[in-house]
Structure 1
Amino acid sequence: MRSETASVVDDIKQGLALLRRHLDWDQSVKRLDYLNHKSEDAALWNDPMEAQKLMRERQSLEDSITGIRALETSLEDNLGLIELGEEEGDDGVVREAEQLLKEMRAELDRRQIEALLAGEADSNDSYLEIHSGAGGTESQDWANMLLRMYTRWAERRKFKVEVMEVHDGEEAGIKSATLLIKGHNAYGWLKTESGVHRLVRISPFDSQARRHTSFSSVWVYPVIDDTIQIEINESDCRIDTYRSSGAGGQHVNTTDSAVRITHIPSGIVVQCQQERSQHKNREKAWNMLRARLYEAELKRREEAASATEATKTEIGWGHQIRSYVLQPYQLVKDLRTGVESTNPQEVLDGSVDAFMEAALAHRVHGGDETIEDVD
């Protein structure tokens, strides 16, 4: 076996060992056996909410255990093919098996990142809000660029994207938008994107072609299902209706179908203009408010359990997470992890995975370094 292939095999074996340890293999296998037995008990469905919770846990464990076993079997099979090919002098078989091993290593890298997505709501669908900062047209155009970036990212992952609301800017771009992104682990992947994003470029709106710095904020929170109970006192909320803006046709733009709900104790505001029916928009806005309150509770728990201030994910205009510099040089830099890309256009076209993966690892392992900002 060539040294390069031996190195790939070592990486795969180490990766499989890490996945087993992360899963707590022996305990997980026992737990799956118990859940399989429990699922055959008809009395389980006497409590539908508890039954759904157990069945989700069962499916998650089954997927993880089956996936690791399949990778272990594939490793053995490909090592056998390499040995057979070398014995018979069949270079084609050897090359094919070596390529499959390289693909396995990439798959293991992906699974190790996904193993970090073990939070309470990580597997859920996700809402993503974008708000332009101070700066008028410049900032609103930047907010629209972020809207496109996350839409492209979701499409690359085959996630479904629904526009819940969008408020157009006066001249260009958007003042705000809310997306509903549907897909397995959508919230887990997106949750580290909350924060302030900064753009530095030569403004296309400046007749003197001067360099401008723009800010927009991103807020991510999970969609919650019926098994998560969030109590809201309606007397604590103010409900406003207004005419929708943006795409949607004449009917959408000329009726007060859009709904805004303000939760007075927390200051949280949600709004929906996706549907033509005010009733449907109201229902979806309530769901969004429950999700925001749930995300706030998750954050409180995370911060309470945090050993250091550095692991907290405070959101504010003074807390930039990433800079996108288009002029005078080309660089996207994450200010929490130090991960960089010298191809901003690729990032703005939706290639954000490297930043998300690093931020997930940083968040889980509790990085405590402060990364310097870029000019």
Structure 2
Amino acid sequence: MSDHRSWVETYRKVESGLSDLEALCELATLDSGGFSESELDEEHRRFLHEFENLEMRAMLTGRDDARNAIIHIHPGAGGTESNDWAEMLMRMYMRWFETRGWKTDILDLESAEEAGIRGVIIEVIGEYAYGFCKAELGVHRLVRISPFDSNARRHTSFASVFVYPEVDDVPEIEIKPDDLKIDTYRASGAGGQHVNRTESAIR
């Protein structure tokens, strides 16, 4: 129900924005002087933002697209270079989340010794957060003149981004003892006479 309400609200914003934009364009045609070009530009940008948001949501039809997201950023091989690149990605994503009006919670953050981070896990709370973020999954590469290299050489850095949908509480699964089959047998390999006399291996 809340998802349907959100769709209606977004559609009404687009509809209202289009109406306002049409009114401003009409004033521009009449050249009545009752508006400014900056006002028209601002209204146009606002309308495009709402329209693109609606268009994007229409494409997010996956089962988990409407859920919150869990983002895990991990630097690749490369030491300080990759650690710094991972932190740059984290800051970039955090700014993007903020512009979309999403809330964030850093669940885990490990800073590196010299610069950057060794890893971070971020919970992203917002409508269609997973749907918008899932395309970020993969290995991200940065090529630059290293600020950490005294010889100013070019370095390539890598960082992995993992994106998961936030799931509801998983019910506790009860395994009955009758459903288990436990076999004991004599282990092979090193161990002397002890492994030959006792059934110390379990499967």
Q: How many residues align?
A: 174
The residue that corresponds to 1:199 in the other structure is 142
> Identity of counterpart residues, as a percentage?
43
- 1:216 correspondence with 2:149: no
The residue that corresponds to 2:185 in the other structure is none
Using the TM superposition, give the Cα deviation of residue 201 of structure 1 relative to its aligned residue in structure 2, in angstroms. 1.0
Partner-residue secondary structure (3-state), 2:104: strand
Using the TM superposition, give the Cα deviation of residue 188 of structure 1 relative to its aligned residue in structure 2, in angstroms. 1.6
Once the two structures are superposed, residues 269-328 of structure 1 have per-residue CA deviations (whole angstroms, 9 ceiling, x without a partner) of xxxxxxxxxxxxxxxxxxxxxxxxxxxxxxxxxxxxxxxxxxxxxxxxxxxxxxxxxxxx
Runs of 5+ unmatched residues, structure 2: 176-203
Using the TM superposition, give the Cα deviation of residue 133 of structure 1 relative to its aligned residue in structure 2, in angstroms. 0.8
- Higher-Rg structure is 2
Note the 1:143-182 alignment, pairs <5 A. Answer: 143-182=86-125
Partner-residue secondary structure (3-state), 1:196: strand
Using the TM superposition, give the Cα deviation of residue 104 of structure 1 relative to its aligned residue in structure 2, in angstroms. 2.7
- Asked whether the equivalents of residues 13 and 50 of structure 2 are also in contact (C-alpha less than 8 Å), the reply is no
1:110 alignment partner, one of 44, 49, 53: 53
- Asked whether the equivalents of residues 79 and 97 of structure 1 are also in contact (C-alpha less than 8 Å), the reply is no
Distance change in 2, residues 1:231/1:119 (3 Å): farther
Once the two structures are superposed, residues 318-374 of structure 1 have per-residue CA deviations (whole angstroms, 9 ceiling, x without a partner) of xxxxxxxxxxxxxxxxxxxxxxxxxxxxxxxxxxxxxxxxxxxxxxxxxxxxxxxxx
Amino acid at match of 2:107: M
- Asked whether the equivalents of residues 144 and 173 of structure 1 are also in contact (C-alpha less than 8 Å), the reply is yes
Amino acid at match of 1:192: A
Amino acid at match of 1:209: A
Higher relative contact order (CA 8 A, sep 6+): 2
- 1:121 correspondence with 2:73: no
Once the two structures are superposed, residues 72-125 of structure 1 have per-residue CA deviations (whole angstroms, 9 ceiling, x without a partner) of 4664576567668967x7342697996546643442122112222332222222
- Cα distance between partner residues in 1 of 2:69 and 2:34: 45
**TM-score, with length taken from structure 2:** 0.69
Amino acid at match of 1:142: W
Distance change in 2, residues 1:202/1:230 (3 Å): farther
Note the 1:64-143 alignment, pairs <5 A. Answer: 64-69=7-12, 71-72=14-15, 75=18, 79=22, 90-92=32-34, 100=43, 103-143=46-86
1:183 alignment partner, one of 118, 126, 131: 126
Once the two structures are superposed, residues 229-268 of structure 1 have per-residue CA deviations (whole angstroms, 9 ceiling, x without a partner) of 466689xxxxxxxxxxxxxxxxxxxxxxxxxxxxxxxxxx
Note the 1:272-283 alignment, pairs <5 A. Answer: none
Distance change in 2, residues 1:62/1:210 (3 Å): same
- Asked whether the equivalents of residues 82 and 94 of structure 1 are also in contact (C-alpha less than 8 Å), the reply is no
Amino acid at match of 2:106: V
- Asked whether the equivalents of residues 129 and 179 of structure 1 are also in contact (C-alpha less than 8 Å), the reply is yes
Distance change in 2, residues 1:76/1:148 (3 Å): closer
**TM-score, with length taken from structure 1:** 0.40
The structure with the largest strand share of the pair is 2
Aligned CA RMSD, in angstroms, stands at 3.2
Amino acid at match of 1:132: P
Note the 1:22-37 alignment, pairs <5 A. Answer: none
- Cα distance between partner residues in 2 of 1:181 and 1:169: 23
Partner-residue secondary structure (3-state), 1:121: coil
- Asked whether the equivalents of residues 11 and 54 of structure 2 are also in contact (C-alpha less than 8 Å), the reply is no
- Asked whether the equivalents of residues 68 and 129 of structure 2 are also in contact (C-alpha less than 8 Å), the reply is yes
Partner-residue secondary structure (3-state), 2:161: strand
Using the TM superposition, give the Cα deviation of residue 65 of structure 1 relative to its aligned residue in structure 2, in angstroms. 3.3
- Cα distance between partner residues in 2 of 1:203 and 1:157: 32
The structure with the largest helix share of the pair is 1
Runs of 5+ unmatched residues, structure 1: 1-57, 235-375
Once the two structures are superposed, residues 208-232 of structure 1 have per-residue CA deviations (whole angstroms, 9 ceiling, x without a partner) of 1111111110101111124xx4666
Partner-residue secondary structure (3-state), 2:34: helix
